[in-house]
Amino acid sequence: MGNILEVKNVSKYFGDDSAVKNVDFSVEEGSFFSILGSSGCGKTTLLRMIAGFLEESEGDILIHGDSMKGVPPEKRPVNIVFQTLALFPMMNVQENVAFGLKRQKLSKAEISSRVTKMLKRVSLVGFEKKKVTELSGGQRQRVAIARSLVMKPSILLLDEPLGALDRKLREHMKVELKLLQKEIGTTFIYITHDQSEALVMSDKIAVMHDGKFEQIDTPRNLYKNPKTAFVAGFVGDSNRFELQSQEGDSLEENSLLTKGGWEIKKPNTGSVDELFIRPEALILYPKEDREEIEQFQVIIKTILFDGSNTKLSTVVVGTAVGTNEELEELLISLPQNAEFENLEEGDQIPVGIHRDDLKCF
């Protein structure tokens, strides 16, 4: 499929402040595209420009190849779902979903047919006459999405729609949204500060920081191959180390030295200002005969139990001259299986990491 949305060098100024800075990207039709960033990075401002609620200061926005300059929100082939959902409490489920269709003055038969089909798609058959105040958070979420999708928009914009839900319901709704988008085929553009939501649901993710896109990529490539230090630190968990200058004769060739004095082989790519290591990339008790694995010793300071997310809080020991000086703190993911159940605080254990998993910026 071709691109349904093209954002061409778009900027937005509020007085002397730049909220969005020369953003340029396209979205493929039928895809799930997320914009991931912290509060204040400009992602909601960008979404509101796509929707037509704000006018871009510079650049252009094209939908189906047509410029949206001067096109009001109600004339654009988009619909939006807000975090607050904005459902009408005085209406039942059926009336909420039918609201936009009635404003278009469609026939009663057409409205009834489209609402029935949409409620079936979002698994709300049997809830037609219920007030939205009688529904669970997840059910209200589905009503809001159904109300938008029943209008048959080319693009559905979602502004942190899961933010008000509890954690367990958010996990469930992530899967539901992904499956719904695949089934319906409507292009979703999803705004979130939650990296898990973006990674689980998206075909492509744009990481936004300070009004600009740092990287646009698939979830896997974004996670495995971050292009900037910001992306490496923002997406997923990372151990982050500042590096010393490589002056003097004591440092081995092709090695790095952290500010804490930990010497480690330099990866093949990257600059030498900061080093990032993901906790789950670290290998407990690595085989000694693998040359591509950098190996060292750590002491377990404490075990941070969190089910499948349990980690070891450790310190790297040893220096270039082989003492047992404690150097850098290091978080290591701990698999929850019988192989490692006897590890205790104070244990000194061997750890390894593949050199491709050392990321320098």
- Could you tell me which residues come within 8 angstroms of residue 178 by beta carbon, excluding any fewer than 6 positions away? 32, 200, 201
For domain 239-360, which CATH number applies: 2.40.50.140, 3.40.50.1110, 2.30.130.60, 2.40.30.10?
A: 2.40.50.140
Q: Which of 280, 288, 281 is nearest to 309 (CA)?
A: 280
Torsion of CA 76, 81, 155, 209, to 10 degrees: 100
| CATH topology (fold) of 3-234 | Rossmann fold (3.40.50)
**Scanning the structure block, which residue is given the tokens 């404690």?**
326
**Which ranges of 91-136 would DSSP assign to H, the alpha helix?**
93-103, 108-121
Encode the chain (361 residues) as per-residue pLDDT tens digits. Answer: 799 999 999 999 999 899 999 999 999 999 999 999 999 999 999 999 999 999 999 999 999 999 999 999 989 999 988 877 788 888 899 989 999 888 888 898 998 899 998 888 888 888 889 998 888 878 888 888 888 888 889 999 998 887 767 778 788 888 888 888 898 899 999 999 999 999 999 999 999 999 999 999 999 999 999 999 999 999 989 999 988 866 554 555 678 888 888 888 777 665 678 899 999 999 999 988 788 898 999 999 999 999 888 999 999 987 444 456 667 899 999 998 888 889 999 999 999 999 889 998 8
How is residue 37 written in tokens? Answer: 């960033």
What ranges do the domains of the chain cover? 3-234, 239-360
**Of 239, 209, 208, 237, which is closest to residue 223 (Cα–Cα)?**
237
Rounded CA-CA distance 280/309 in Å is 10
CB 93 within 8 A of CB 130: yes
- Cα separation, 183 vs 117, in Å, equals 13
Q: Which residue shows structure tokens 């899961």?
A: 162
Domains 3-234 and 239-360 share a fold: no
| DSSP character at residue 51 | H
pLDDT tens string 254-310: 788 888 888 887 776 656 788 999 999 999 999 887 888 989 999 999 999 998 889
Going by C-alpha positions, the residue among 94, 86, 84 that lies closest to residue 130 is: 94
> How many whole angstroms separate alpha carbon 331 and alpha carbon 337?
18
The C-alpha atoms of residue 299 and residue 319 are separated, in whole angstroms, by: 14
Distance CA 100, CA 151 (A): 7
* Model pTM score: 0.87
User: Which residues does residue 7 pair with via DSSP β-bridges, in sequence order?
Assistant: 25, 61
Tell me the C-alpha distance between 198 and 204, whole Å.
Answer: 9
